[in-house]
Structure 1
Amino acid sequence: MRPFSLLSRQEVAPISYVLTDVDDTITTNGKLHPEGLDALWKLHDSGFKVICVTGGSAGWGDTYLRQWPVEAVLSESGAVCMYREHGVIRHYVHPSIQKEGYGQRAKDLIDKVLSLVPEAKLSSDQFARIYDIAFDHGSEPPYLSREGIDRVVAICREMGAGTAVSSIHVNAWFGQFDKRRGTEAFFRDVLSLDSETMQRVSCYCGDAPNDQVMFSCFPLSFGVGNIRRHSSQMHDLPRYVAQNEGGAGFCEIAGALLANKMH
């Protein structure tokens, strides 16, 4: 992971889209601080198109799209995307999701995890999720141990679910997607840009192990400072890393992009 002093204008020149995680990347300890929102506005006002890519709920995604200066929000680890088309908010659902019977499969998974891992609990915003199942491990006390997290992941995978561990949740879903494949599908089907073009004109910002699929995809990637806490558990790290954590780190990333943007 390199310091921003090594970032070049040549790397930033082709970038039109800034893809970014939300929790603990734009936010700090679960809250949106002024510097995080200010960074979003500066990127927007300079012509960058910001797209959030989050394991958070579709309900949060709808809120972000309505309140923040962003083009789209891919939520629930790539399951669903909300975006504006001629002023109308549209929903794009990943094509691998089989809607029929999904609710029952999700219920069966939840029941099994909660019975086998008594200390596990659903995220308090589970009601706002359409396809994702989120087990809270670091958002609200009591927190789940590392052993508990691993047990939840193992059970979900045994039941055929995809999984990802963020800084606050164990996310599980049924479908052939993750943050990367959800983003690629949205760019292909809605923005009419193939994967190669997407990688060339986009960068990614994140903070946690579930961002690895994005770090490995984009030649230009950034981590906020708290990525250092997880680096020993990760095999794919961002190219550049901020000094500060959370929203202050995201503000650093925005500043580095703006400073190297060719006009």
Structure 2
Amino acid sequence: MHRHLGKLVAGAALALTGTAAMAAITLPAGAGAAGTADGRPAAAGASAAGRDPGQPPPGVVENAHAQGARGVGRDPLTDDELRRARDLALPRTPRAAVRDVTGRPGPEPLTTDLAEPDPSEAGAADPPRRAVVSFYDYRGDGYVRTTVNLTTSKVEATDVQHGVQPPPGHDEAVEAARLLIAAPLGAGLRQDYRDATGRDLTGPAPLTVTGFVYRGRAEGAAPGALAACGQHRCVRLFTQVTGGRWIDTRRFVIDLSARTVSRLG
């Protein structure tokens, strides 16, 4: 959605209502049972199953192999390794010392990735498996990255940075949508949703949202209310009625640290 939104919005007529803009997205004419995905009619003589009788049968998808508790080499992290990495990376301070995006105790998880091997272990037959776990602490507005050794079950390094804003996670985008819907500035979004569905929008559940970071003055002129963005965790949203229309909410900035909503321009 993040990559293709610009094309979708540019290729549809924008119906302006309230303070937001809504774009209708439709399938190509003729797509469906009577045609192909690009709108062309099915080839003459095609079988009832949609396949030319002269074509070989479709390939068979092999079932995924059972996943072990531990990967090997550069294998992706297994589900068990992901759980262990996140547990190991939890701050050793009391949970109340960090806060998630909703303000509850505990860190806001972002990513868990396989770490690059240590150069000193090059050529080792069975080098240790490591993971880098990142989260955001809303209490101190810090981006935390922790490297854990999954072979020894030890934390090897923790780095805390301020003013660094990685892409927001899904839960952060959903919380941003919740704040926008509840804010006075969300009136246009609520009206556009009602125009599209005939229903009231009271929460983010009926929406599909993707967030992207807003860094305040690092991106140009920013209203005074957004001067803290970059140090604070601020996001903008791509918003779609799930399975339906896009609603343009990109001019709104949600400061997740301060839990406020502002508008650009």
Question: TM-score, structure 2 length as denominator?
Answer: 0.24
Q: Which has the higher helix share?
A: 1
Query: Which structure: larger Rg?
Result: 2
Question: TM-score, structure 1 length as denominator?
Answer: 0.24
Q: Which has the higher strand share?
A: 2
